Chains A and B, each alone.
Chain A
Amino acid sequence: MSASARKVDPARIEIRDVTKRFGSFTAVDRVTLTVEPGEFLTLLGPSGCGKTTLLRMLSGFETPTEGTIHIGSEDVTHLPPYRRNVNQVFQSYALFPHLSVHENVAFGLRMKKLERDEIDRRVAEVMQLVALQGFEQRRPHELSGGQRQRVALARAIVPEPEVLLLDEPLSALDAKLRRAMQIELKRLQRQLGLTTVFVTHDQEEALTLSDRIAVMNAGRIEQLGTASFVYHQPSTPFVADFLGEANLLQAEIVGREGEAARVRTQQGWELTIAAPENLNGAKRVVISIRPEKVLVSKQRIEAGNVFPARVAEELFQGATDRLTLQTSGGVKLTAIVANESAIREAIHEGDEVFCGLHEDDLVVVRADE
């Protein structure tokens, strides 16, 4: 199934002001979101944030309480799942246990009432695409987890949907297989140019796969942007904390110096931060610092903010070392440093070190009047 052979073009998804309530519980709260044709968009959030409900409204298993959903030019808000040109890979794969791999993959094509020859040809193509030739006559229970995952993927893409939906499809796999499947999934999605919506609570998976990430919390989208933008410029404390790790500090603005601002943390620790424009008028802020942006050395460092600290705890993590730093002001910071032997030799629990923070690595994630 080469990209040029596709008869169906990837579609744009437009979610407009969609709300979904279950009784008095609001699962999805006025979400507006556009997914571009061919884009890989991830809905990321903790369980109960509404990401699965939003996905189920795209597949048609749930109907919005308010708002509309368009796929391509069609309003699908009230269209049942079997009338939508959308296919899903289920979290449990949901392979039909009474059918062979071939019959599973052919199911969607059969429902489209295609000719038998056409079905066999397309199934053979997609089996090659997911590297499962020779497994056609097996039953799902005779396959490994990774193979089942690929059958589920093959079954979802072979009807050439306008949109591919993925509901945590990798969560049942072990870490190594998951990484391999991530790469494979991304390659397939690129090759087929499918508009893809991916639901996960795994932030690393989201960062690896997505063109854009929508971080969801309590039924709303907290932030929407490219993986690197959302990671480097989180717009709320929730996003900073959920996507990657963050040291969150509450502080008060005590002065402005052109492009920069002086802030004092609760513990009375003064820092210089790069001041974005939206800081105008703000008095109190929450600052996020990524642990890998915290510079640690026994020598004095060049950085906007340098201060002495003591290594309260050191955890060896393989490629990196994780340090808990205790500053004189009573602030605790988590730092992740590359595990170079020289540094590892140099820094141990209880050592007195210098800690450096560049001004633009201090990101304001909340500003209050």
Chain B
Amino acid sequence: MRPTSRSFSSRRAGLRAWLLLLPMLVWLAAFVVVPMGILLVYSFCQRDDLGRVVFVFSWENYARVFDPTYLAIFGRSVAYAAVTTVICVAAGYPVGYYIARRSEKRRNQLLLLVMIPFWTSFLVRTYAWITILKNDGLLNGMLQYTKLISAPLDIMYTPAAVIIGLVYAYLPFMILPIYSSAEKLDNALVEAAYDLGAGPVRSFAEVIVPLTWPGIAAGMLLVFVPAIGMFAITDLMGGARVPMIGNVIQNQFFQARNWPFGAALGVVFTLLFAVSYALLQRRRVWEEE
């Protein structure tokens, strides 16, 4: 409610707007603000020998986060997530753009195809990848049958398997926002670029990419951020060989029973998201007319 709105009716309208927003505000408070608050408080606590949280202020957890061991894991997680994001942009952009340029009926069919995997449990789909990639799995079987290779490729439990799993899991989150940006792109703008002498490559670089940048940025966030924290894929497809920050955090809560340290890791992790989000948003997005 803006203090400048003096009239009775606009004050009423303001009140009504807040009342309509109330369910969402309650939801946000209960499931975002409160848990984040708990996380923040725990991160400054200590634990006793039984793993119970003791409410005594301490910086110790944060000091431990910046221990080289954990920094290395953080760095590796960021690297894996970055590679995943780059591959998702490269693979997702053509798909999202292609779908957006189809007729409306065709668009809906293709979008359905992108979303169908969500109908099955994520874990089941990850296991499906294991049966494809394992030594006596589908891929090696086919490659050996066609005599392209003589010995099975060692893919499972390698970084490559983790990247394949991550790209597979997050590709739709790249395709959908890019699609939504590309769908809004006025084709006349692409034609104008061609008309003014820009070939396909320059039109793409100077007009199409800048104008679909909001979709690319949103996709990068939606892939990069959860990919850093992912632990199921790294567990199942990477074995124990490549622990990620997600695995470490999960361990603190379940195996190690060090909730305060897990919380500190979570807080740092969240700040990392906030920074990457801010960086992506700094790129100026043009305003709609």
Query: A96 touches which one: B192, B194, B197, B289 (CB < 8 A)?
Result: B192
Contact A107 B193 (CB under 8 A): yes
| Chain A CB within 10 Å, residue with most, of B188, B196, B206, B211 | B196
Q: Is A92 an interface residue when CB atoms closer than 8 A count as contact? A: yes
B198: interface (CB < 8 Å): yes
Checking A88, A91, A92 against B195 with a beta-carbon cut-off of 8 angstroms, the contacting residue is A88
Q: Does A108 contact B (CB under 8 A)?
A: yes
Given A96-B207, A97-B286, A141-B289, the answer on whether A112 and B195 have CB atoms closer than 8 Å is no
A269 at the interface (CB under 8 A from B): no
Also in contact, A82 and B199, with CB within 8 A (given A97-B211, A107-B193, A141-B289): yes
A108 and B191 contact, CB distance less than 8 A: no
Q: Which B residues are CB-close (under 8 A) to A141?
A: 286-289
Indicate if the CB atoms of B288 and A111 lie closer than 8 Å: no
CA distance A363 to B287 in the complex (A): 55
Given the interface pairs A141-B288, A141-B289, the reply to whether A90 lies near B198 with Cβ below 8 Å is no
A237 interface residue per 8 A CB criterion: no
Q: How many residues on the A side are at the interface (Cβ–Cβ under 8 A)?
A: 27
Contact of A59 with B by CB under 8 A: yes
Number of interface residues of B (CB under 8 A): 22
A98 touches B (CB below 8 Å): yes
CB proximity of B237 to chain A, nearest CB, Å: 40
The residue in chain A whose Cβ has the minimal distance to the Cβ of B187 is A94
Give chain B's interface secondary structure class.
Answer: helix
Cα(A81)–Cα(B195), bound, Å = 5
Q: Which residue of A lies closest to B285 (CB)?
A: A98
Contact call B286/A98, Cβ cutoff below 8 A: yes
Of A60, A90, A92, A94, most B-chain CB atoms within 10 Å: A94
Q: A139-B286, A141-B288 are in contact. Are A94 and B197 (CB under 8 A)?
A: no
Does the CB pair A94–B188 fall under 8 Å? yes
Nearest A residue (CB) for B189: A94
Give the Cβ gap from A79 to chain B, nearest Cβ, in Å: 11
Q: How long is the Cα–Cα vector from A88 to B193 in the complex, in angstroms?
A: 11
Give Cα A156–Cα B193 distance, bound, in whole angstroms. Answer: 11
Query: Quick one: closest A residue to B202, CB to CB?
Result: A111
**Distance between A110 CB and nearest chain B CB, rounded to angstroms:** 9
Q: How far is the CA of A88 from the CA of B189 in the complex (A)?
A: 12
Contact of A61 among B191, B197, B199, B289 (CB under 8 A): B191
B188 touches A90 (CB 8 A): yes
A215-242 contact mask (Cβ, 8 Å, vs B): 1 or 0: 0000000000000000000000000000
A96 — which chain B residues lie within 8 A by C-beta? 189, 192-193, 207, 211
A97 (CB) vs chain B CBs: closest residue: B286
Whether B198 and A111, one on each chain, are in contact in the complex, defined by CB atoms closer than 8 angstroms, is: yes
Q: Are A82 and B286 in contact (CB under 8 A)?
A: no
Chain A 76-88: CB-based contact to B (< 8 A → 1; otherwise 0) = 0000111000111
Complex contacts, A98 vs chain B, CB 8 Å: 210-211, 286
Q: Which residues of A contact B207 (CB under 8 A)?
A: 96
Q: Does B67 lie at the interface of the complex (its beta carbon under 8 Å from any beta carbon of A)?
A: no
Q: Evaluate contact between A87 and B186: CB separation under 8 angstroms.
A: no
Task: State whether the Cβ of A310 lies closer than 8 Å to any Cβ in chain B.
Answer: no
Give the distance to chain A from B193, nearest Cβ to Cβ, in Å: 7
Chain B min CB distance to A97 (Å): 5
Contact flag A81-B194 (CB < 8 Å), given A94-B188, A96-B207, A97-B211: yes
**Contact residue among A82, A91, A159 (Cβ-Cβ distance under 8 Å from B194):** A82
Q: How far apart sit A155 and B188, CA to CA, in the bound complex (Å)?
A: 14
Residues of B within 8 A of A140 (CB): 289
CB distance from A89 to the nearest CB of B (A): 10
Question: Quick one: CB contact mask for A59-85 with B, threshold 8 Å, 1 for yes?
Answer: 111000000000000000000111000
Q: Are A94 and B198 closer than 8 Å at their CB atoms?
A: no
Q: Which of A82, A91, A97 contacts B198 (CB 8 A)?
A: A82
Interfacial residues of chain B within 26-58, with CB under 8 A of chain A in the complex: none
Chain B neighbourhood of A108, CB < 8 A: 196-197
Q: Encode contact with B along A91-132: 1 for CB under 8 Å, 0 otherwise.
A: 110111110000000011001100000000000000000000
Interface residues of A in 133-161 (CB under 8 A from B): 139-141, 155-156, 159
Separation in Å of the A198 CB from the closest CB of chain B? 16
Rounded to whole angstroms, the CA-CA distance of A93 and B196 in the bound complex is: 13
Given contacts A82-B199, A141-B288, contact A94 B191 (CB under 8 A): yes
CB B271 to nearest CB in A, in angstroms, measures: 30
How many angstroms between the C-alpha atoms of A43 and B121 in the bound complex? 59
Please, which residue of chain A has its CB at the minimum distance from the CB of B209?
A: A98
| A-B residue pairs, 7 tightest by C-beta | A111-B197, A108-B196, A94-B192, A94-B188, A81-B194, A141-B289, A98-B286
What 13 new A-B contacts, CB under 8 Å, besides A92-B188, A96-B193? A80-B199, A81-B191, A81-B194, A82-B195, A87-B196, A88-B195, A90-B188, A90-B192, A96-B192, A97-B287, A107-B193, A112-B197, A139-B286
A-B contact pairs, 13 of them (CB 8 A): A59-B191, A82-B194, A82-B197, A87-B195, A90-B191, A97-B211, A107-B193, A111-B196, A139-B286, A141-B287, A141-B289, A159-B196, A159-B197
Residues of A within 8 A of B (CB): 59-61, 80-82, 86-88, 90-92, 94-98, 107-108, 111-112, 139-141, 155-156, 159
